[in-house]
């Protein structure tokens, strides 16, 4: 069986995946959306990353043996604020935006997880966990709130690599007079009559954000599970707090912690003030296919910052169109090439996998595309309206023109000089790099095939 190795934030190394709960049946929990608005493109990155991991696990272990849980946070102050602003009910907002989320994530090729628990359906389990933390001295009640005693857990800060004292300075913590320590975080807080609330031993209230994931992960995956994922912005405080409250509740919790890097737009942090903030739906409405969005995302390794640029979007559109043209009407191979599975099994190296795919014959390319979550050519139409990519000596323009036009002119000059042996040798080198050459009326051109690799032309003259 293929060994999968993943970079574990908790150990700072690549660890082998060795399913803990049931032999050969891996389990994964990923922090999902807070449903109050459309998902922006940064929200889509962890969805796509962990969808590829989900697909890889299903490929290696069998679809029926993999459990993937991604929660829905439907009780949150942002949701409450949106309800107040709009005059709509909280349930109307969360139902609508949760549906939007699934629709947009399906458009970028994401499978639905095995389970998608809503926080509001797990309140009883959260209350029970909080009661246990109070009983063991890890939490305390103060002015209707229940707070976790951070200093009661000796390993607090181990995930993020910082001590408690280091975190206090400039940390994102709420200062409140009822806290024993500034780092203590809320497990339960009181609700006024106009806010969502549930009865509890501490009065009517609602859960803090962190306790939600601990209760749902433990309830659906058991005392311990294999992988916990999310964006690296969640390492502190969310995941740090999840670990503390879960382990102090007696749960071993997750063994491998996987975090993707953040997304930028044209080299800058995405923000509304810079005018570069947009949602997945914005891109789809502009006519950018979901599979193109997916291609751009997977072209960068998940542990590297990803830059969404118009140039990358165009390149992804052209490369994916070429893949679709090549695989249209072709029966996929029954096995995915080993090189692709090996690349994905080595810490989800999607970039390497896609480089490998450029050299595959059509049946194997189609099988690899399926594993990476791309649709079949027969199920999409947009690529049929696009012409293949060409570069020509007639105009001196086209993709990779600076590299290719001089080589094409050299090939044509050799042909005109009737040095056919040298011309054929150069043609073989160019076509070996993924080009299809042709000549007409004294001009040379090349179609750029899906397998084109400019690196193969280094040193060619």
Q: Which of 161-175, 301-315, 328-342 bottoms out in mean pLDDT, i.e. has the lowest? A: 161-175
**pLDDT at 174 (0 to 100):** 65
Write down how long the chain is.
461
Is pLDDT at 167 greater than 90 in this prediction?
no
DSSP strands (E only) in 149-214: 185-190, 205-207
Q: Could you tell me if 133 and 125 are in contact, meaning their C-beta atoms sit under 8 angstroms apart?
A: no
5-260: CATH topology is Rossmann fold (3.40.50)
Give, in order, the Cα–Cα distances in Å from 400 to each of 194, 397, 404, 432, 446.
61, 8, 6, 16, 11
Is 31 among the annotated ligand-binding positions? yes
How many Å apart are CA 13 and CA 11, to the nearest integer?
5
Give, in order, the Cα–Cα distances in Å from 404 to each of 257, 285, 355, 390, 408.
44, 35, 20, 10, 6
Q: How confident is the model at residue 455 (pLDDT cuts 50, 70, 90)?
A: confident
Per-chain mean pLDDT for the chain: 93
How many Å apart are CA 234 and CA 224, to the nearest integer?
20
Tokens of 112: 């639905």
Q: How confident is the model at residue 78 (pLDDT cuts 50, 70, 90)?
A: very high
Is 458 among the annotated ligand-binding positions? no
| Nearest-10 Cα torsion for 446, 447, 449, 452 | 30
Is 143 among the annotated ligand-binding positions? no
Average of per-residue pLDDT across 283-293: 97
pTM: 0.89
Is pLDDT at 237 greater than 60 in this prediction?
yes
Q: Could you tell me if 276 and 270 are in contact, meaning their C-beta atoms sit under 8 angstroms apart?
A: yes
How many Å apart are CA 459 and CA 442, to the nearest integer?
25
Per domain, the residue ranges of the chain are 5-260, 264-385, 390-457
Q: If residue 139 lies in a helix (H) or strand (E), which one and from where to where?
A: strand 139-142
Cβ atoms within 10 A of the Cβ of 174, count?
9
What residues contact 292, with CB distance under 8 A and at least 6 apart?
A: 313, 316, 317, 320
Is pLDDT at 97 greater than 90 in this prediction?
yes
Q: Tell me the DSSP string of 22-43.
A: BTTB-EEEE---B-SSPPBHHH
**pLDDT at 453 (0 to 100):** 84
Q: Could you tell me if 445 and 393 are in contact, meaning their C-beta atoms sit under 8 angstroms apart?
A: yes
Q: Could you tell me if 88 and 97 are in contact, meaning their C-beta atoms sit under 8 angstroms apart?
A: no
Is pLDDT at 139 greater than 90 in this prediction?
yes
């Amino acid at each position: 069986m293929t060994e999968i190795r993943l970079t574990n934030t908790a150990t700072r190394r690549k660890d082998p995946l060795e399913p803990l709960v049931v032999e050969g049946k891996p389990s994964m929990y990923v922090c999902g959306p807070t449903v109050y608005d459309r998902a922006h493109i940064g929200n889509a990155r962890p969805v796509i990353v962990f969808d590829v991991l989900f697909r890889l696990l299903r490929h290696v272990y069998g679809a029926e043996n993999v459990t993937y849980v991604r929660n829905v946070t439907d009780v949150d102050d942002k949701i409450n604020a949106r309800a107040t602003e709009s005059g709509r009910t909280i349930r109307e907002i969360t139902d609508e935006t949760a549906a939007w989320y699934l629709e947009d994530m399906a458009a970028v090729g994401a499978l639905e997880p095995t389970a998608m628990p809503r926080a509001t359906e797990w309140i009883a389990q959260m209350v029970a966990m909080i009661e246990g933390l109070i009983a063991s001295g890890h939490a305390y009640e103060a002015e209707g709130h229940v707070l976790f005693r951070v200093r009661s857990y000796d390993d607090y800060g181990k995930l993020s690599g910082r001590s408690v004292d280091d975190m206090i300075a400039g940390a994102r913590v709420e200062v409140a007079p009822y806290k024993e320590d500034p780092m203590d975080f809320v497990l339960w807080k009181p609700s006024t009559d106009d806010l969502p609330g549930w009865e509890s031993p501490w009065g009517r209230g609602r859960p803090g954000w962190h306790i939600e994931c601990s209760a749902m992960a433990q309830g659906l995956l058991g005392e311990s599970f294999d992988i916990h994922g999310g964006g690296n912005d969640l390492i502190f405080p969310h995941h740090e707090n999840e670990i503390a409250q879960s382990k102090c509740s007696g749960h071993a919790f997750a063994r491998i912690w996987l975090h993707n890097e953040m997304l930028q737009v044209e080299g800058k942090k995405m923000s509304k003030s810079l005018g570069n903030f947009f949602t997945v739906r914005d891109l789809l409405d502009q006519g950018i296919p979901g599979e193109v969005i997916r291609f751009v995302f997977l072209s960068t390794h998940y542990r590297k910052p990803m830059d969404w640029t118009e140039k990358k979007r165009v390149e992804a559109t052209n490369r994916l169109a070429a893949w679709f043209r090549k695989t249209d009407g072709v029966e996929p191979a029954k096995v995915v090439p080993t090189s692709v599975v090996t690349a994905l099994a080595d810490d989800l190296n999607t970039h390497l996998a896609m480089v490998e795919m450029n050299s595959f014959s059509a049946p194997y390319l189609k099988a690899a595309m399926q594993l990476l979550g791309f649709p079949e050519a027969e199920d999409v139409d947009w690529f049929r309206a696009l012409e293949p990519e060409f570069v020509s000596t007639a105009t001196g323009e086209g993709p990779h023109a600076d590299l290719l036009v001089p080589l094409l002119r050299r090939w044509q000059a050799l042909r005109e000089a009737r040095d056919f042996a040298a011309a054929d040798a150069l043609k073989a080198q160019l076509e070996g790099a993924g080009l299809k050459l042709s000549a007409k009326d004294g001009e040379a051109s090349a179609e750029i095939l899906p397998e084109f690799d400019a690196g193969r032309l280094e040193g060619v003259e």
